């Protein structure tokens, strides 16, 4: 076992702890059984959730045992949002999402060996519980004055939306999860985001009331911010999901490649499993040669491989190179090509027209006359082939995967044309 507290601190992954010294001793005396919960309030996890999963992975690699909880019960309720009441999803939908989230978490943890991970579902200990039992056995240990002091609850209480009893009760359910896992597995640590601190400490408080001699801990990771002020895990097209149908592996890869130089050192420490020496070397390269984007590419390759697999990563890298003339576009499979081109400006046309018309229509140039100048100056490319004539019209056999043209102006300005009537 390694000193995981020092490791997490170096990586900037400790924002809050119930007692850091006591937690360090528990890890030293370990192994520690710990858990992190994920609610199925959407059909996929996202990058914010990935922070938690990879933190679990780090702690497991340090010799401790993770319990991955997917909340089949808490997902039916949902934790209080800052601004408004959640829309409750149908039980059948939540059950489907539970399985989808499990399938995303499981490949990132180790289920073999002495500290093998275990997946759990809080519906197992809540679905047979009556309301009377819940209120008598669990609810009596919670004090309303402390419950309303929790940040998420107080924010809603002071808003026009208010808060329902359903969402107000969420922290009781999460507290009960920790108690059940303490009793069933000897679990003594819960991890989660610092924005969930009130819910995390509801579990430690409950255990202390019910099991006075128990020593349990909570650990909160910081919320990740971006230097440009935009929200981490968001792009112009929306949330970056782990599900490849919701965010393609190409878009996932590009998110990391496009990371701001001011953010990439922090992202490396939080997400990468490279050694300190490797990370510090990538940080140095970013400072000395930022245009090479070595840190961004290393992080993109590592995380895309971790989440989507080596084959998908190889296909994505091949597509990235081919789009800029460093590989054969014709060798790309149709799905990867379509995913890559969906990330650049693109238009649909019923039939092929002159190159200058296509360049102007897709917005690579301001006008047809500007397109002609680009061709004349040798800066216009179709499928990485330089356009030689101002009146050139692409042929149907040039279409990639039977429907795409890749247009490029100069070295870096890309766009695409999808021919729907071909």
Residue ranges of the annotated binding site for L-tyrosine are 35, 170, 174
Cβ of 87: how many Cβ atoms within 10 Å?
7
Residue environment code for 253-280, b if the CB has 16+ CB neighbours within 10 A, otherwise e: bbbbbebeeebbbbbbbbbbebeeeebe
Residue environment code for 18-50, b if the CB has 16+ CB neighbours within 10 A, otherwise e: beeeebeebbeebbbbbbbbbbbbbebbbbbbb
DSSP string covering 102-171: HHHHGGGS--SSTT--EEE-THHHHTT--HHHIIIIIGGG--HHHHHHSHHHHHHHTSSS---HHHHTHH
Cβ of 328: how many Cβ atoms within 10 Å?
11
Taking each continuous run of H as one helix and of E as one strand, the counts in the chain are 19, 13
Alpha carbon distance 374, 376 (integer Å): 5
Residues forming the annotated binding site? 35, 170, 174, 234
- Residue in the structure block whose two tokens are 């990538």: 282
Residue 305, classified by CB atoms within 10 Å of its CB into exposed (0-12), middle (13-18) or buried (19+), is middle
Angle between helices 261-271 and 276-288 (to 10 degrees): 170
Paired with 238 in beta bridges are: 235
Residues forming the annotated binding site for ATP? 234
User: Reduced to 3 states, what is the DSSP secondary structure of residue 235?
Assistant: strand
| Host H or E run for residue 68 | strand 65-70
């Amino acid at each position: 076992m390694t000193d995981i507290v020092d490791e997490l601190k170096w990586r900037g992954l400790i924002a809050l702890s119930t007692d850091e010294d006591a937690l360090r001793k528990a890890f030293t005396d370990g192994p520690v059984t710990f858990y992190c919960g994920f609610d199925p309030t959407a059909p996929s996890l996202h990058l914010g959730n990935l922070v938690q999963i990879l933190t679990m992975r780090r702690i497991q690699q340090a010799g401790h045992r993770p319990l991955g909880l997917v909340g089949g019960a808490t997902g039916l309720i949902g934790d209080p949002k800052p601004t408004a009441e959640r829309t409750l999803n149908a039980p059948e939908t939540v059950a489907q999402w539970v399985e989808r989230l499990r399938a995303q978490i499981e490949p990132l943890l180790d289920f073999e060996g002495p500290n093998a991970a275990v997946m759990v579902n809080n519906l197992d200990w809540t679905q047979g519980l009556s309301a009377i039992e819940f209120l008598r056995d669990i609810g009596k240990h919670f004090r309303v004055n402390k419950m309303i002091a929790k940040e998420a609850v107080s924010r809603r209480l002071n808003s026009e939306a208010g808060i329902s009893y359903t969402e107000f009760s969420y922290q009781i359910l999460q507290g009960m999860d920790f108690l059940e896992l303490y009793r069933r597995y000897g679990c003594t640590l819960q991890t989660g985001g610092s924005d969930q601190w009130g819910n995390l400490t509801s579990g430690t408080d409950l255990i202390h009331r019910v099991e006075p001699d128990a020593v349990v801990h909570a650990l909160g990771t910081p919320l990740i911010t971006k230097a440009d002020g935009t929200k981490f895990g968001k792009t112009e097209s929306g949330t970056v999901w782990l599900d490849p149908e919701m965010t393609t592996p190409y878009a996932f890869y590009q998110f990391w490649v496009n990371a701001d130089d001011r953010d990439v050192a922090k992202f490396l420490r939080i997400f990468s499993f490279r050694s300190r020496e490797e990370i510090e070397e990538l940080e140095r390269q970013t400072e000395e040669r930022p245009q090479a984007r070595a840190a961004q590419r290393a992080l993109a390759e590592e995380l895309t491989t971790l989440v989507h697999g080596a084959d998908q990563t190889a296909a994505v890298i091949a597509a990235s190179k081919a789009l800029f003339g460093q590989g054969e576009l014709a060798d790309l499979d149709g799905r990867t090509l379509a995913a890559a081109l969906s990330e650049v400006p693109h238009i649909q046309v019923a039939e092929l027209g002159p190159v200058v018309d296509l360049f102007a229509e897709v917005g690579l140039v301001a006008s047809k006359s500007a397109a002609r100048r680009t061709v004349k100056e040798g800066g216009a490319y179709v499928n990485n082939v330089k356009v030689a004539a101002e009146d050139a019209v692409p042929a149907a056999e040039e279409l990639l995967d039977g429907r795409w043209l890749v247009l490029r102006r100069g070295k870096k300005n890309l766009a695409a044309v999808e021919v729907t009537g071909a």
